[in-house]
């Protein structure tokens, strides 16, 4: 036992992380769940409810879609989807859900800015029109 206590224990140092190990570690991080504002959730919940109810009502008629699962009719289904712009509406809805709408204060400020710009621009156009009218009357009526 005396011999064992006099022997030094060896420590094994770990090698520093390589670039490859760091890259693997960064790719394996779990993604954070997306945060959804409560107001946006409330705004979409009635629409989601309506869509689910329509789905439940149409569920017995699913057998009508089985021909579109075959290869030739799948092509026709894709063409119908393009004609009816289904993908366009899906993508538009996704984009609309990502919009951050301004609050009431920003809305009033922007509305006032639009009205002020419209009034100033209208006055400018009126003055230019009046000036050109006078110039052309002098030139053409002389």
Using CB atoms within 10 Å of the CB of residue 44, give its burial: 0 to 12 exposed, 13 to 18 middle, 19+ buried: middle
What's the pLDDT score for residue 14?
Answer: 78
Contact 68, 77 (CB under 8 A): yes
pTM of the model: 0.36
Residue 73 within a domain: yes
Q: Tell me: the pLDDT tens digits for 85-131?
A: 888 888 888 998 898 888 999 999 999 999 999 999 999 999 999 99
What is the span of the domain harbouring residue 95? 37-101
Q: Are residues 109 and 138 in the same domain?
A: yes
What's the pLDDT score for residue 44?
Answer: 63
Q: Are residues 119 and 92 in the same domain?
A: no
Average pLDDT over residues 9-34: 74
In this prediction, residue 57 has a pLDDT band, given cuts at 50, 70 and 90, of confident
Using CB atoms within 10 Å of the CB of residue 77, give its burial: 0 to 12 exposed, 13 to 18 middle, 19+ buried: middle
pLDDT of residue 20 exceeding 60, the answer is yes
Residue 7 within a domain: no
Average pLDDT over residues 35-49: 64
What's the pLDDT score for residue 117?
Answer: 98
């Amino acid at each position: 036992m005396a011999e064992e206590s006099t022997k030094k224990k060896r420590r094994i140092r770990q090698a520093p992380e390589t670039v490859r190990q760091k890259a693997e570690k960064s790719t394996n991080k779990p993604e954070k769940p997306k945060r959804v504002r409560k107001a946006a959730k409330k705004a979409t919940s009635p629409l989601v409810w309506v869509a689910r109810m329509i789905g439940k009502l149409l569920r017995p008629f699913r057998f009508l879609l089985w021909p579109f699962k075959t290869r030739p009719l799948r092509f026709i289904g894709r063409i119908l989807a393009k004609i009816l712009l289904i993908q366009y509406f899906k993508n538009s809805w996704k984009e609309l859900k990502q919009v951050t709408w301004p609050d009431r204060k920003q809305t009033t400020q922007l509305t006032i800015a639009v009205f002020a710009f419209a009034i100033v621009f209208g006055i400018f156009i009126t003055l230019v029109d009046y000036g050109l009218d006078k110039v052309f009357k002098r030139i053409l009526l002389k």
